[in-house]
Amino acid sequence: MDLNCEGCAGCCVDWRPLGGAPDHERSGRYRALDDTYNLVPLTRDEVREFLEAGYGDALVPRLFAAEDPDRAVTIDGHDVAAMGDRPLFLVGLRKPPKPVAPFGSDPVWLDACAFLDPETLQCRIHGEELYPRTCATYPGLNLELDRETECERVERAHGEPGERLRDRSVPEDLPPPAFGPQALGSTVFAYPDPGTLEGVIARLAAGESTREDRVLFVGAAAGSAPGMPEVNGDLAEEARELALEADSWIGRAAEGWARAAEDAGGPGAPATDAPAHGDVEEARGAPETPGWDALREEEP
């Protein structure tokens, strides 16, 4: 597998406002309640690691619309996919709006991964211990399953065949799919107390979740065990406290970007007058990225 990621970030940003991206988050067997594009599912261990690193404010849950009424629980008018009466969910990374210019476009406000440097379009934790395994191996699983990759979608809409996905060979040591019998308690979690979710599901579906909403699911994920729907209450409570206490540059930058994006007109609006990314992210503690010239110099 050989990728050309420079100037792309198609797997990290919601580029639907630029045209050509499918609305695949709400299609197929598992339809997300929210509209976040390409949410990366984290494992239970990764959720715990982000919490321990102080990034509890970077995490967000995803729930799914139920196709089978016998495998659903109704909350806030939504039939939510469930195991018994326990809503099933993933945990991923938040995607606040940022001023980015992928594919050679002019700067525009697009929802982007919380860890994406909007200037270089590089991940701020690439290669670090926190870097999610799904990101590190993407699009390997797509290639193994012969499914279209985000690289190919970008090529079709904003490039040429082979420009982004240069080699389709499947890498070794791929993680298991996020969905499947092995996923319960590892990447797919069961929320233990649906009675506490009144109002929460409606806000999640509308993209208006609060920190208090999100930490409910973060705690349940951290308290889960592979292969089991049950949640360890003590571990979940400890994780909720960590998530509520989190005050990383991610959360503070997300608030700053959201205000600026709203003033500009929201996702898809021109970002020519956006605040400098250094003032919003690096000044709040975001680690710098090397830039593409530096990476080219390291190539043999």
pLDDT in tens, 177-231: 777 778 999 999 999 999 999 999 999 999 999 999 999 999 999 999 999 999 9
Does 92 fall in a domain? Answer: yes
Q: Is the peptide bond before 139 cis (omega within 30 degrees of 0)?
A: yes
pLDDT band at 297 (very low <50, low <70, confident <90, very high): low
What pLDDT does residue 28 have?
A: 55
260: Cα separation from own chain's centroid: 21
Other beta carbons less than 10 A from residue 174's beta carbon: 16
pLDDT at 107 over 80: yes
User: Is there a contact between 189 and 220 (Cβ–Cβ < 8 Å)?
Assistant: yes
Number of structural domains, the chain?
Answer: 1
Torsion angle of the four alpha carbons 98, 102, 104, 105, in this order, in degrees rounded to the nearest 10: -50
What pLDDT does residue 195 have?
A: 94
Other beta carbons less than 10 A from residue 156's beta carbon: 13
pLDDT tens-digit map of 255-282: 999 999 999 999 999 999 999 999 999 9
Report percent pLDDT > 90 for the chain. 83
Cα–Cα distances (Å) from 15 to 10, 109, 116, 158, in that order, read: 7, 10, 14, 11
Does 142 fall in a domain? Answer: yes
pLDDT at 133 over 90: yes
CA distance 243 to 64: 23
The 3-state secondary structure of the chain, one letter per residue: CEECCCCCCCCCECCHHHCCCCCHHHCCCCEECCCCCCCCCCCHHHHHHHHHCCCHHHEEEEEEECCCHHHEEEECCEEEEEECCEEEEEEEECCCEEEECHHHCCCEEEEECCCECCCCCCECCCCCCCCCHHHHHCCHHHHHCCCCCHHHHHHHHHCCCCCCEEECCCCCCCCCCCCCCCCECCCEEECCCHHHHCCHHHHHHCCCCCHHHHHHHHHHHHCECCCCCCECHHHHHHHHHHHHHCCCHHHHHHHHHHHHHHHHCCCCCECCCCCCHHHHCHHHCCCCCCCHHHHHHHCC
Give the residue-averaged pLDDT of 64-71.
90
Cross-strand partners of 151: none
Does 138 fall in a domain? Answer: yes
What pLDDT does residue 12 have?
A: 97
Q: In sequence order, what are the residues at sequence separation of 6 or more whose Cβ sits closer than 8 angstroms to the Cβ of residue 241?
A: none
What pLDDT does residue 24 have?
A: 60
Does 103 fall in a domain? Answer: yes
Give the residue-averaged pLDDT of 81-95.
96
pLDDT at 26 over 60: no
Does 145 fall in a domain? Answer: yes
Does 299 fall in a domain? Answer: no
Q: Which residue has the higher pLDDT, 30 or 239?
A: 239
CA distance 121 to 82: 36
Q: Which residue has the higher pLDDT, 30 or 105?
A: 105
User: Is there a contact between 110 and 270 (Cβ–Cβ < 8 Å)?
Assistant: no
Does 211 fall in a domain? Answer: yes
**Domain membership of residue 68 as a residue range:** 2-294
Does 104 fall in a domain? Answer: yes
Q: List the structure tokens of 116.
A: 């994406």
